[in-house]
Amino acid sequence: MDLVCPVCNGLYEINVTCDICFKNMIDKGPVVNYLDDYSPYLLDDIAAKVDGAPSYKCVHIYQCPNCKHDKRVEIDRIYI
């Protein structure tokens, strides 16, 4: 079994609502994609360190298409 983020892997989407205007926010991908100095093939190891979340969480950036507000959402990884 692998511990994976269901959102990164397209297994399902979660609904995140903007704190400001209450629109549905759009998944901009895991936060590690926004860091310059990492190697993609080390994604899992590095992710556990740089985003401050435990390795069983995947932190995604969600952005509101209306007001551009963004926030981090921790997604629980699941075993598949």
* Residues making contact with Zn ion (CB under 5 A): 5, 7-8, 18, 20-21, 30, 58, 64, 66-67, 69
> In 10 A of CB 44, how many CB atoms?
14
Q: How far is the CB of 44 from Zn ion (least distance, A)?
A: 11
SS3 label, residue 62: strand
Q: Which two tokens stand for residue 6?
A: 């269901």
User: Which CB, 46 or 69, lies closer to Zn ion?
Assistant: 69
For the bound state, the minimum distance from the C-beta of residue 79 to Zn ion, rounded and expressed in Å, comes to: 15
Least distance from Zn ion to the Cβ atom of residue 23, Å: 5
Residues 6+ apart with CB under 8 A from 31: 51, 59, 60, 61, 72
User: CA 32 to CA 21: how far, in whole Å?
Assistant: 26
